Amino acid sequence: MTKKISLLAAASIAAILASCGGGNSSSLTPSSSHPTGLSTSVATSEVSPSSSDPVTVSSEAVKKVVVTFDLNYEGSTPVTAEVEVGKTVDEPSNILRDGYGFAGWYLEASCENAFDFQTLIFDDLTLYANWLKIDENSRTATFHWNLAGQPDVYQTVYFTSGGRVTTKPAKPVLVGYKFMGWYNEATCENEWAENRKYSDNIDVYAKWFNEYVFEAEYTQLVDLSDEDIEAGLANEFGEKVGHGYSSDTYGLANIFPGRDLQASNGFYISNMYYRGAYIEFDIECSKAITDAILVARMTCEYFDMTFKPGYYDFEVNGANLDYSPISMSCKNIVDAGTIYQGLAPKMAEGGSGAEVPFADYNISTHVSFKEGKNVLRLVTNNSDRQDQTGTMAAMAPLVDCLKLYSDAELTFDAHEDNLN
């Protein structure tokens, strides 16, 4: 039958598009006196919010600190980088010294405590290079990017024959990919044993998964099936039904603007507050796989919520994924100087709590897809009312997007017209 989009939905999307603004980004800045250059391949820090713990900051401009890389030998020129407070710093690449092999960055000039590049920086910091004099007992461990479009060598470090490789490069980070570890061969069949002793030069290869981001607002919200209509999941026009705090929504009206909540594409899906409500991602996979990684970018609205299998389900081709319970906090904010993960929260009108920015939640590291079409559904499977005075008939998260990581090619059947 012919389906029609309600005037309410069309008006809602028009209002959404009119209200959206842009986001902000930050970057790492090298000193102009840098003799070798900061790595331009490392595009961004991999640190991302995984909880909604509050951090208190002033209302002034974002504060930055300086990290100084002291090459730690006479006549050398330090390398400096500006870093936003609470962020990580990227490791300089291609650190060279005639007659010596680079052996890592340390917290003191005596090189006793190695620095971890996953450490968040809050104050000015100086790091010191460690060097090994190259002689007949010196060996090299060459770490390869192992990815098309990148240089062959990520970093080369020196170690003493018969000993361990005591300096391991910082974990490489590339936008659009997930680093999966170091391996003995380019085909990434055997993971590199970093605690083993080596007598000869070795080559080590990075393993990568592609990153796919599938937006919830591009899932099918109109022209749903007769079966969904009969089940009450869609109205007579085939528009997906949503239950809000004080009213129902249909079809495209379930899309909400979310740049102030750090929604990845500026929008998210809400109002899946009733048993049986679902968000469906239709995904084409190039081959059968069993090791895809699934991350859901979600947050809560109005009330604290906890989700677990059987209560809120992630279904792949009809089979529920097992995942650890997820707790989300939506506590009231009264101090204007308090932010959640770097962004002031939006107070929820009429609710008991605040909306907090979206965060990434790890769902599974062993998702199985068959070759061809796959259906991944997020399903509300409870009837816990959040408030006896409202129309919310279940607990469900706000959903921004899904992130999938795999070496297979994944294609999402995106309904991009939803935002037109």
* 193-213 pLDDT, tens digit each: 988 999 999 999 999 999 999
Categorize the per-residue pLDDT at 74 as very low, low, confident or very high, splitting at 50, 70 and 90: very high
Percentage of the chain modeled with pLDDT above 70: 79
CB 97 within 8 A of CB 157: no
Does position 2 have pLDDT exceeding 70, yes or no? no
DSSP 18-69: HH---------EE-TT-SS-B-SS--S------S--EEE--SSSPPEEEEEE
Does position 66 have pLDDT exceeding 70, yes or no? yes
CATH topology of domain 29-211: Immunoglobulin-like (2.60.40)
DSSP 77-119: --EEEEEETTB--PPB----BTTEEEEEEESSTT--SBPPTTP
pTM score: 0.72
- Report the C-alpha gap between 410 and 413 in whole angstroms: 10
Tracing tokens 């740049």 back to the chain, one arrives at 259
Does position 338 have pLDDT exceeding 80, yes or no? no
Residue 389, pLDDT score: 60
Q: Where in the chain is CATH 2.60.40.4270?
A: 29-211
Q: Where in the chain is CATH 2.60.120.260?
A: 7-11+213-419
Residue 388, pLDDT score: 62
Which residue has better confidence, 284 or 194?
284
- Report the C-alpha gap between 300 and 400 in whole angstroms: 11
Residue 308: strand pairing partners = none
Using a 10 angstrom Cβ sphere, with 0-12 exposed, 13-18 middle and 19 or more buried, the burial of residue 95 is buried
10 torsion bin: left (phi>0), alpha (psi -120 to 50), beta (else): alpha
CB 44 within 8 A of CB 175: yes
Residue 247, pLDDT score: 86
Does position 49 have pLDDT exceeding 50, yes or no? no
Residue 62, pLDDT score: 81
Poorest-pLDDT segment among 1-5, 159-163, 285-289, 384-388: 1-5
Average per-residue pLDDT in the chain? 82
CATH topology of domain 7-11+213-419: Jelly Rolls (2.60.120)
Residue 57, pLDDT score: 37
What is the arithmetic mean of pLDDT over 134-146? 94
Using a 10 angstrom Cβ sphere, with 0-12 exposed, 13-18 middle and 19 or more buried, the burial of residue 85 is middle
Helices (H) and strands (E) in the chain, counts: 2, 29
What is the arithmetic mean of pLDDT over 112-138? 91
Half-sphere exposure of 270 (CA within 13 A, CB side): 22
What six digits make up the tokens of 60? 């002034």
Residue 378: strand pairing partners = 279, 314
Residue 132, pLDDT score: 86
- Report the C-alpha gap between 399 and 300 in whole angstroms: 9
Categorize the per-residue pLDDT at 116 as very low, low, confident or very high, splitting at 50, 70 and 90: confident
pLDDT digits (tens, 9 = 90+) for 5-24: 343 444 444 444 444 433 33
